[in-house]
Amino acid sequence: MRALQIILISCALGSFVSCKGKTKNSSDIEPIKIDQSSDPNHDMSSTNSVDIENQQDSLKCNISIIHKTDSEIKEITYQDIDIFLCTFSKSCSRNIEFTEYSNEVLFKVLELYPSLFMKCVELNSEIEKEYIFSELSSPLYDINGEKLKSIIQQAEGSPDIKIRIIQSIEKAME
């Protein structure tokens, strides 16, 4: 009986943690927290790279993280934005619910936290930058492109990332 319980728990945890190519549609799932400092310059050399890779994979397509980001939009941190951006993946594009909701929240985060947004995109190699830029060039809702471009131009951030974001917004305005 004990062995059966262990097998069932292992299967349940395995399906919860793995997102490789799959989507999580339930908004009841708690977001997975990455144990790292909210400081973008935090030295992660002591962190096990296999653990980080598994955590990053489990973030992909996680709609509960999108919901958490949206519901706490006025008080999110660098770490929250970093985790949020890690949910974006080309593999999620078939999940309509995730795609629509994440696209809407993406523009909210960019407008409210442009410098932190750019810093996350610049520093986290696990973020699918090209997919993020693609999402920015294809808003699913009306955006005020001129206002957003002005916000980005005035924000601190990598000139290369800033240019790519502005180009994406300009493409969206065409």
Q: Which amino acid is at 146?
A: E
What tokens were used for 145?
């492109």
CA–CA distance, 45 with 36 (Å, rounded to integer): 11
Quick check: 18 and 57 in contact, CB under 8 A? yes
Only one residue has tokens 């790519």, namely 164
Quick check: 69 and 109 in contact, CB under 8 A? yes
| Confidence at residue 56, expressed as pLDDT on a 0 to 100 scale | 52
Which of the residues in the chain have pLDDT under 70?
1-57
**Could you give the C-alpha distances from 157 to 16, 20, 139, in angstroms and in order?**
35, 31, 22
What pTM was computed for the model? 0.69
- Residue 145 sits at the vertex; the CA angle it makes with 108 and 67, to the nearest 5 degrees, is 15
CA–CA distance, 72 with 74 (Å, rounded to integer): 6
| Confidence at residue 4, expressed as pLDDT on a 0 to 100 scale | 37
